[in-house]
Structure 1
Amino acid sequence: MRSPRDERPRLSFSFFRWRETIAIPAAPLQIGDLVIDPPILQAPMAGFTNAAFRQIVRQFGGSGLLATEMVNARGFVWLDENEAEHPDRLWGVAEEARPLAVQIWDNDAETMAKVGRRLVDEYRVSVVDINFGCPVRQVTEKAHSGSYLLREPQRMFHIIHRLVKACNPTPVTAKIRLGCSPESINCNEIAKVVEEAGAAALTVHGRTAKDMFRGNADWERISEIKQHLRNIPLIGNGDLDSAEKVVAAFQNYNVDGVMIARACLGRPWLFSQAAAALKGDPVPPEPTLAEQRDVMLHHFRLVVDRFGEEKATVLMRKYACCYAQGKRGARHFRTHVARVSTAAEFHQVVDEHFPSEPIFSNSAAS
């Protein structure tokens, strides 16, 4: 059932100029008792998917489940024990519309269980997701968490099982990669472990940890995992940067849902495009560059409201680069926006250097 908070206004720009597409039925995704419709999820991304970004995605619509940045469970406990403010990555969660997932990471089952229960009791989250896919060295080699744990299936089982018990009845899900390296792909084995431990859904990024984000996601490998799951849904992730690719994922691969990640960072309207394509509705084309600029400035105002001008300006540099990506003059804009330190400087750089010519291919704009 939708709550009053879900009934928020959608951003309405003139770029909703329709074009025809073909209906591709995609059933709603069920995670425990939670129905995700459309079955298109926004990926948790550290440093990016904060409350301001999520608000913009919600205003455009099209994502059935949004997620926070990943939260360090051990760091959360430390802040709590020292009576410090809870992590910035939980900014907005308590008041935000649902459904909403919070992703956490660590390698200690009891720490994870403690944080998971807090998220359920105090933040009333819809889903608690476990990160077993992060390939960043600080998380893997230094903290022995994220994708590092793919080499320890029984430890993963214990973490998931303990968290499921602690969070009941809120569903617990897991996100993994294909394996630690191309030579040690074990996603089929891990999928069985995830389900047996009690997780309500499995998301798979179609690369190994060693691959980082190089090469192409292997959707054939993702699809093969489905036969190793008995009851829980499989969500595919990797390289989904257009409505057409989302439709193709459902057409060609045995997945129950899809997760959009990096491609949405400068294009939060991508979810609405993908959702329209799945329903067979006309797909909204890309906003004009002037409209994209307006979305970016709206995003900046939301960040300023939370963090103040100085911190918000620094945080907004990386988002601004995302909004410019794929456009002629993106490199020139990045060079200037990377140096701004005040709101006035940010607005000046946007006025003078944000791309104003038609969009070209990413390779031409890099």
Structure 2
Amino acid sequence: MSFDTTTTNSDSPKPLAAPIWIGDLKIDPPILAAPMAGFTNYPFRQIVREFGGAGLIATEMVNAKGFVWLDEQEATHPDRLWGVADEPRPLAVQIWDNDPPTLAKVGHRLATEYGVSVVDINFGCPVRQVTQKAHSGSYLLSQPERMGQIIEQVVAACHPTPVTAKIRLGCTRDKINAIDIAQVVEGAGAAALTVHGRTAADMFRGEADWDKISAIKPYLKRIPLIGNGDLDTAAKVVSAFERYDIDAVMIARACLNKPWLFAHAAAALRGEPVPEEPTLSEQRELMLHHYRLVCERFGPEKGTVLMRKFACCYAQGRRGARDFRKHVARVTTPEEFQAVVTEFFPRDLVDAMAS
């Protein structure tokens, strides 16, 4: 269902959503940053923190089996966990696999050695490599009993660190079982449930069904329900809390070209005026700042290649984005990156007239 993006004015600011508790962890504001493979790395998390507004930030999802293999080889920890030990809290790490003992072992390491705030289990990823090849992610929505075993073992291994789960509505539209799965998740001891409003077969097509997310809430007795899907403006976040029976929201893909979205949404939920969008000049400077952080982490050569996808995100939806993407997709050096940004990144009308 689509959102009504109209907002109402109030004489006095009034918070529209209360903080949530994930175990003993208070999440305020109740806006979570989703784990996204290939994107929510250390530099991107820094950018989100600089803007503020995210009550809980997550790393990229970590393959539990790969983590154990690295440990057995006495190799370094997974690259996706770089910086986690010393990173500001709260911080969630999402793990995936289909073997309860393996997930429990990794969860225990994350809770004790890394001291993360939340261990999240991925039951929502629809990507073929995770589902069909590894029988993990959203594939497990067809196996509620195994999901329960996984959660029970991870909860026991991580105690007292809270364990959460992220799911989709079901595997396919004719096999939507989110209400049943939600009760399994809560019964197995999870501290919160996030639901993306599409099925695995939907991938990211169509609209997220928030009515079906909301329908889950009456079946949860003690844990918060976090809704996810299509939240790309502060107005839509406000609408989600006003129209649906949820406790919190999770923002995913929309933040990749608007990392300030969390701060804008948080202001809206506090009943405060939503700040103006950064100008294109400010967005260009933000992208360059992001690029410097990526290069500090990965080095100039690898950092330049990795930044290409982020740069495309920053330009998304702007006039001239297609031309910029065509050129930035081929850069391999800092000099090339800077030259392409200078010449092709979308500009404000005032900048364009001055050049």
Fold shared, TM-score > 0.5 on shorter chain: yes
Distance 1:306 1:80 in 2: 22
- 1:199 matched to 2:183? The reply is no
Q: Distance in 2 between matches of 1:285 and 1:262?
A: 20
CA distance in 1, matches of 2:334, 2:85: 28
**By how many angstroms is 1:25 displaced?**
2.1
Matched residue, 2:251: 260
Task: Quote the offset at 1:357 in angstroms.
Answer: 3.7
What is the distance in 1 between the residues matched to 2:169 and 2:276? Answer: 33
Mapped contact 2:16–2:238 kept (Cα < 8 A):
no
2:31–2:53 contact (8 Å) kept in structure 1? yes
Q: 2:92 aligns with which of 84, 97, 101?
A: 101
> Contact between 1:327 and 1:357, CA under 8 Å: does it hold in 2?
no
Aligned 1:8-23 pairs, distance under 5 A? 21-22=9-10, 23=14
Deviations 1:81-100 (A, max 9, x none): 11112111111111111000
Shift of 1:178: 0.1
1:34-183 mapped onto 2 (5 Å cutoff): 34-183=25-174
Q: 2:334 corresponds to which residue?
A: 343
Q: Distance in 2 between matches of 1:123 and 1:190?
A: 29
- The alignment status of 1:208 with 2:199, answered yes or no, reads yes
CA contact (8 A) 1:265 1:322 kept: yes
Contiguous gaps of at least 5 residues in structure 2: 1-6, 350-355
Deviates more, 1:240-249 or 1:82-91: 82-91
Matches of 1:352 and 1:213 in 2, distance apart?
Answer: 32
Distance 1:334 1:56 in 2: 21
Aligned position for 2:225: 234
Q: Aligned-pair distance for 1:20?
A: 9.1
- Of residues 194, 210, 213 in structure 2, which corresponds to 1:222? 213
CA shift in 2, pair 1:329/1:351, >3 Å: same
Structure 1 partner of 2:353: none
User: Where do 1:256-295 residues align within 5 Å?
Assistant: 256-295=247-286
Amino acid at match of 1:163: V
> Does the CA-based 8 Å contact 2:171-2:199 persist in structure 1?
yes
Report the secondary structure of 2:336's partner residue.
Answer: helix
1:309-354 per-position Cα deviation (integer Å, ceiling 9, x unaligned): 1110110000000000010011110000000011111111000100
- The SS at the match of 2:85 is coil
Aligned to 2:216, the other structure's residue is in SS state helix
The aligned amino acid for 2:213 is I
Under a length normalisation based on structure 1, what TM-score does the superposition of the two structures give? 0.92
Output the CA distance in 2 between the equivalents of 1:330 and 1:95.
36
Partner amino acid for 2:343? E
Q: Is the Cα–Cα contact under 8 Å of residues 20 and 281 in structure 1 kept in the other structure?
A: no
Q: Give distance in 1, aligned partners of 2:317 and 2:151.
A: 39
1:21 Cα offset (Å): 4.9
Unpaired segments of 5 or more residues in structure 1?
1-18, 359-366
Deviations 1:21-77, CA, capped at 9 Å, x for gaps? 544421101100000000000000000001100111001000000000000000011
**Could you tell me whether the CA contact under 8 Å between 2:152 and 2:188 is conserved in 1?**
yes
Residue 17 of structure 2 corresponds to 26
Aligned residue in 2 for 1:300: 291
**Contact residue 160 and residue 194 of structure 1 kept, 8 A:** yes
How many residues are aligned here? 340
CA–CA separation in structure 2 for the residues paired with 1:101 and 1:128: 6
- Check the 8 A contact 1:24/1:280 in 2, yes or no: yes
Question: Which whole-Å CA distance do the structure 2 matches of 1:174 and 1:199 have between them?
Answer: 7
Encode CA deviations 1:143-175: one digit per residue, 9 max, x unaligned: 000000000000000000000000000000000
Q: Distance in 2 between matches of 1:93 and 1:287?
A: 29
The counterpart of 1:313, out of the listed 304, 307, 317, is 304
Q: What whole-Å deviation, never above 9, does each CA across 1:266-304 have from its counterpart, x for those lacking one?
A: 110000000000001111111000100111111111111
> Which letter maps to 2:202?
D
Cα deviations by residue, 1:194-249 (Å, 9 ceiling, x for unpaired): 00000000000000000000000000000000011111000000000000000000
